[in-house]
Chains A and B, each alone.
Chain A
Amino acid sequence: MLKKAIYLLDHLEEYIIIALFTAILLILGSGVITRYIFSYTPSWAEQLARIFFVWVSFAGISLAARHGMHLRVTAINLILPQRIGKLVLLVGDLIASVVAFTIGYRILLLTISIYQRGQTFAAMTSVPVWVMYVAGALGMIGMGVRLVQTGIIPTILEFVGKRNGSKEKDSDQNKLGKE
């Protein structure tokens, strides 16, 4: 039971992405069709797709941190010895996770104040605006957590000599960079 819960939590971003990305595709696809056949698209459709897109993006931001895919300038690692280069990457990850937690917290504060004002979307008055902002808070905090989990802890363990590096992360780093 607990194992299953941990597994679900560990793949949370992927479930969010698959479900909501598919939903956006269906919403926008049917929007194109109804516009041509009935010259009508419900005004809430675009807004709903955009809320889902914010959620997909922040789920992706968190997941990308897990795979070490976020864009960074690594030119300095070409001139530094490997071990020191790794240390610099660790410092980069540490700063990144602190900033991610901080901005996540700030977005959370913003979400709470929007919640208290009871603001809703103009195109969808039944949906409060905070449901969109909370994705930002969760995504950035998630990014911080993933950085600690897959970047910082494995590297520190490697430095104290307990494990042999995080190979998964290195190979993922090469995959990045479709423009």
Chain B
Amino acid sequence: MATLVLFGVLAVALVLTVPIAIGLILATGTVFMIFHPNTPLFNLLSQAMVTTIDSFPIMAVPFFMLVGILMEKTGIALRLIRVGEAIAGTTPGGLGAAAIIACVFFAAISGSGPAVVAAIGAIMIPAMAARNYDKDYSASLVASAATIGPVIPPSIPMIIYGATVGVSVVKLFTAGFLPGLLMGAGLLVVNFIISKKRGYLGKPREGGIKWVLAQIWDGKWALFMPFLILGGIYGGIFTPTESAVVGTFYALIVGTFIYKDLTLKKVKDSLIEAALLSSIVMILLGGATTFGRLLTIEKIPAALASWMLGITETPILIMLMINLALLISGMFIDTISNIVLFAPLLVPIIIAVGYDPAFFGVIMTVNLCIGFLTPPLGMNLFVAQGVAKVPFESIVKQVMPFLAILIFTLGLMILFPDIVMVLPRLFGY
């Protein structure tokens, strides 16, 4: 009965476009008021609203957002693109490949999706149009490449997953690395094939190997950033939160003294923007934690597990069923909300059938990031559409081959879990 009220209130609230965080507070609060009236249980909710934010690991979220925003406001995107162009510019579809490579590097700095679309797309889409790429194709390519952002660490969804489920963020960050590269490789292949077919030509080479090296050298300050942030975390020198703080200082120094395009006004705006984007995540945590606790009290994950085990006992089929459900859910609900809503429900099940929760964390992140590309509510598509100024339907049509390859790589990871788990095992997590 309490279960029915919990989910009923949440569903009605979500349909009425009540913010998801408020829907969670309303649903859990209603259950407390009906089934546990005049008990101090309601205080659990009020307390969780504050104590879930009072956390050192969670503090990494605003700083990783700040790093990304600061780097966008400096000339970093442009330099990353030049490096990508120097490496891949002359092959068929070279500019498209350059955009994908730039997105992969950007992913290792900021770990945010739609922001990457805006930063890389604003430069790349016009440049590709000048070389006779169709605009809707360029837009869908950048939108797809940006989904890698939260898969390659640092990753905000993984921090939230780690905090919600209780998995080491460093382990998740290690596990996300190869899957992100695999997604990038898949996109490069699709871009190559389509470009060859449609005759999107590469640029004539501007110089020899010396010129290529010079371009890479010119991007050194931007390229060093992933080594600083990820090297610090993997090497055990910094915690993720500390590395985010160090990354922020690095971005401030490079932006002010080397690229010389960071003003006090830009820094202030970046602080506010990062705080806003992190707050809309923070407000979810208290209600989500309480929601998760109520689920456990009502033994809902156990009931769901026995229902699924009744259908099949093959772990991989259960994993596929869960992923199908998440792909559908990702069409309508954003990544972070999906994680805080469904991770507490699903993790007990996948542990019961023998999966590592860190593996599932990466799978869930990849799956939900694909949701950035799926209509009707694919945020990356909206942003790319805004940058390229082409009709939404034509982007949706062009994005299909990319969407297919990303879902295919997700399938590969599910079938061969080693793709995800080999690095964490190598590092001994």
Please give the residue numbers on chain A whose beta carbons come within 8 Å of chain B beta carbons, in ascending order.
14, 17-18, 21-22, 24-25, 28-29, 31-32, 46, 49-51, 53-54, 56-61, 63-64, 67, 69-78, 88-89, 91-92, 95-96, 99-100, 102-103, 106-107, 109-110, 132-133, 135-136, 140, 143, 174, 176-179
Q: Is B297 interfacial (CB-CB < 8 Å)?
A: no
One of A14, A110, A132 near B272 (C-beta < 8 A) = A14
One of B18, B246, B268 near A18 (C-beta < 8 A) = B268
One of A57, A75, A106 near B278 (C-beta < 8 A) = A57
Q: Which residues of A contact B111 (CB under 8 A)?
A: 179
Q: Is B242 interfacial (CB-CB < 8 Å)?
A: yes
Please give the residue numbers on chain B whose beta carbons come within 8 Å of chain A beta carbons, in ascending order.
13-22, 25-26, 29, 42-43, 45-47, 49-50, 53-56, 59, 62-63, 65, 68, 111-115, 149-150, 156-157, 238, 241-242, 245-246, 248-249, 268, 271-272, 274-280, 282-284, 332-337, 369, 372, 376-377, 379, 382, 386
A74 lies within 8 A of B17 (CB): yes
A59 to B279 alpha-carbon distance, docked (Å): 8
A95 lies within 8 A of B279 (CB): no
Main secondary structure of the interface of A (DSSP, over half): helix
A162 to B389 alpha-carbon distance, docked (Å): 33
A99 lies within 8 A of B22 (CB): yes
Knowing that A53-B53, A63-B272 are A-B contacts, what are 8 other residue pairs whose CB atoms are under 8 Å apart, sorted by A's residue number?
A17-B271, A18-B272, A50-B54, A61-B283, A64-B283, A91-B17, A136-B49, A179-B372
A179 to B245 alpha-carbon distance, docked (Å): 19
B276 lies within 8 A of A60 (CB): yes
Q: Which residues of B contact A106 (CB under 8 A)?
A: 42-43, 45-46
A83 to B245 alpha-carbon distance, docked (Å): 45
Q: Which residues of B contact A58 (CB under 8 A)?
A: 53, 279
A174 to B112 alpha-carbon distance, docked (Å): 15
A46 to B55 alpha-carbon distance, docked (Å): 10
Q: Which residues of A contact B268 (CB under 8 A)?
A: 18
Identify which of B54, B63, B249, B274 gathers the most chain A CB atoms within 10 Å of its CB.
B54
A107 lies within 8 A of B22 (CB): no
A54 lies within 8 A of B238 (CB): no
Q: Which residues of A contact B241 (CB under 8 A)?
A: 28
Q: Which residues of B contact A78 (CB under 8 A)?
A: 376
A92 lies within 8 A of B18 (CB): yes
A71 lies within 8 A of B337 (CB): yes
A66 to B242 alpha-carbon distance, docked (Å): 31
Chain A proximity of B73: nearest CB distance (Å): 14
Chain B residue with minimal CB distance to A35? Answer: B242
22 A–B contact pairs at CB < 8 A?
Answer: A21-B62, A21-B275, A24-B59, A28-B242, A29-B246, A31-B242, A53-B54, A57-B275, A60-B280, A63-B275, A71-B280, A73-B14, A73-B20, A74-B17, A76-B17, A99-B25, A106-B43, A133-B50, A174-B382, A176-B277, A177-B113, A179-B336
Q: Which residues of A contact B150 (CB under 8 A)?
A: 179
Chain B proximity of A30: nearest CB distance (Å): 10
**A107-B49, A179-B156 as given contacts; A29 in contact with B26, CB under 8 Å:** no
Chain A residue with minimal CB distance to B157? Answer: A179
A103 lies within 8 A of B29 (CB): yes
Chain B proximity of A134: nearest CB distance (Å): 9
Chain B residue with minimal CB distance to A62? Answer: B279
A60 lies within 8 A of B278 (CB): yes
A59 to B280 alpha-carbon distance, docked (Å): 11
**A50-B55, A57-B282, A60-B279 as given contacts; A71 in contact with B25, CB under 8 Å:** no
B50 lies within 8 A of A54 (CB): yes
One of B18, B55, B272, B284 near A17 (C-beta < 8 A) = B272
B271 lies within 8 A of A71 (CB): no
B246 lies within 8 A of A64 (CB): no
A78 to B15 alpha-carbon distance, docked (Å): 12
